[in-house]
Amino acid sequence: MKRGLLAGLLLCAAVAGQAAPALKSGTFSPARPAPEIALTSADGKDFRLSALRGKVVVLEFGFTHCPAVCPASLAMLAQARRKLGPQAGRLQVVFISVDPERDTPARLTSYLAQFDESFIGLTGTLAQMAAIRKDYGITATKFAAPAGQGGYQMGHSSYLYFIDKKGMLRAMMPFGRPADEMVHDVNVLAAE
């Protein structure tokens, strides 16, 4: 009887002592509330980040004329959603424009549909977008396009921000990480 009780206590202690799986992304320690985002989405509806509580949210800051980083990152996020299979509804990707002068709601909708129709695109006035970038520590700079291409390009920070189901900013993943790491982090946050 004593051996059974001791074995049971040891098993409970071992299970209780196991740490939750670690995130693959760099973590915010301690986690902090994600700054609110309140804009009109590309489909014309009022959007509030806080309305997504209960889902894991990944924020990406970018622009539709981005030649390489943004489309690669969005393709990886779309791949991660596919890998989640029936659990894909636990994840909401929100793409926030750093180029509101060119990224109209119609352009965002068309652009994001190439990757995943569930992705939400957000844009606003220059002042609104600058305030959101500041809240998240995102830099964005407009510069002249290479000779012969006309117009301008944008240079910007390339991180994905992971927000848990309670609206807490939990992790930041740099550009170029594989979809499997995104899936891992979404699963860890969704299981909490």
Q: At 192, which amino acid appears?
A: E
How confident is the model over 131-182, as pLDDT tens digits?
Answer: 999 999 999 999 888 877 778 889 888 899 999 999 999 999 999 889 999 9
Residue 159 near residue 174 (C-beta atoms within 8 A): yes
pLDDT at residue 93 tops 60: yes
Domains of the chain: 28-191 (3.40.30.10)
Residue 115 near residue 74 (C-beta atoms within 8 A): yes
What sign has the CA pseudo-torsion 105, 110, 114, 116? positive
CB atoms within 10 A of CB 157: 16
| Confidence (pLDDT) at 19 | 58
| Confidence (pLDDT) at 9 | 38
Residue 39 near residue 128 (C-beta atoms within 8 A): yes
| Confidence (pLDDT) at 144 | 87
Residue 133 near residue 61 (C-beta atoms within 8 A): yes
Reduce the DSSP state of residue 182 to 3 states and report it: helix
Cis upstream peptide for 30 (omega within 30°) = yes
Q: Which of 4-13, 60-69, 117-126 has the lowest mean pLDDT?
A: 4-13
Q: What does pTM read for this prediction? A: 0.86
pLDDT at residue 82 tops 90: yes
| Confidence (pLDDT) at 43 | 82
- Residue 172, CB half-sphere, CA atoms under 13 Å: how many? 13
Q: Which of 12-16, 66-70, 87-91, 155-159 has the lowest mean pLDDT?
A: 12-16
